[in-house]
């Protein structure tokens, strides 16, 4: 039995080979990303997810900052491979920087002290859902993407470059663009190792 949602999920794949030949203009893409995050669930409807949406040369600038930060910690003999990977992200149409607002988290901890320890965890749940929502929205638009985690190495540089509020904590980066290569077969582990069904 086919299910449209499941079929859509199957199309979401990690794309490293990105280009700028997207079939949407910047305003439409910006709206798509914002709407995906806006309608993502969050605990207590906290709406803690934030984003910096970079297009064109601003996206290229972010990956240049990442390259600069990584050059300080990656061994010289391994840096060429790292640089090539970062260049592939910069080759895309843009990048979404995903943040979680820690002022929102702290406010909930103070207001609902009984659950104080849970709010940072629930914030991470919201972050993951926001990232996935944007990825699916991009997939539906025929746009490739991947999810990266170069935080905290790039946090300070990004904050200074785009005037990011101090309370925003960087959680992930999503470079996106046109598909410049296909995908290999995706392997799955046996369902019996993943699921328990009762009743």
Per-residue pLDDT band at 189 (split at 50, 70, 90)? very high
Using an 8 Å Cβ cutoff, are 179 and 13 in contact? no
pTM: 0.96
pLDDT tens column, 155-187: 999 999 999 999 999 999 999 999 999 998 999
The residue ranges of DSSP E strands in 109-195, in sequence order, are 144-145, 168-179
Q: Quick one: DSSP state of residue 20?
A: S
pLDDT for residue 2 is more than 90 = no
Question: pLDDT band for position 197 (50/70/90)?
Answer: very high
**Residue that is written with structure tokens 């709406």 in the block:** 47
Q: What is the model's pLDDT at position 124? A: 98
How many Cα atoms occupy the beta-carbon half-sphere of 28 within 13 Å?
Answer: 8
pLDDT digits (tens, 9 = 90+) for 82-116: 999 999 999 999 999 999 999 999 999 999 999 99
The 10s digit of each residue's pLDDT in 109-159 is: 999 999 999 999 999 999 999 999 999 999 999 999 999 999 999 999 999
pLDDT reading at 1 higher than 80? no
Q: How far apart are CA 34 and CA 53, in angstroms?
A: 9
Per-residue pLDDT at 7 exceeds 80: yes
Q: Which residue matches tokens 């030949």?
A: 21
């Amino acid at each position: 039995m086919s299910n449209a949602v499941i079929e859509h999920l199957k199309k979401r794949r990690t794309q490293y080979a990105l280009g700028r030949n997207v079939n949407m203009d910047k305003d439409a893409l910006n709206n798509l990303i914002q709407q995906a995050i806006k309608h993502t669930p969050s605990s207590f409807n906290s709406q803690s997810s934030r984003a910096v949406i970079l297009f064109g040369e601003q996206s290229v600038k972010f990956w240049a900052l990442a390259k600069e930060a990584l050059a300080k910690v990656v061994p010289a003999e391994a840096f060429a491979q790292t640089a090539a990977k970062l260049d592939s992200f910069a080759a895309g149409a843009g990048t979404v920087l995903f943040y979680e607002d820690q002022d929102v988290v702290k406010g909930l901890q103070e207001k609902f002290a009984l659950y104080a320890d849970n709010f940072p965890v629930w914030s991470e749940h919201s972050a993951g859902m926001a990232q996935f929502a944007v990825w699916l929205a991009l997939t539906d638009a025929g746009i490739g993407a991947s999810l990266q985690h170069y935080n905290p190495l790039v946090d300070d540089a990004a904050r200074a470059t785009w005037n990011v509020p101090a309370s925003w904590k960087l959680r992930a980066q999503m470079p996106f663009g046109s598909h410049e290569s296909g995908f290999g077969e995706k392997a799955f582990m046996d369902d019996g190792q993943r699921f328990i069904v009762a009743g």
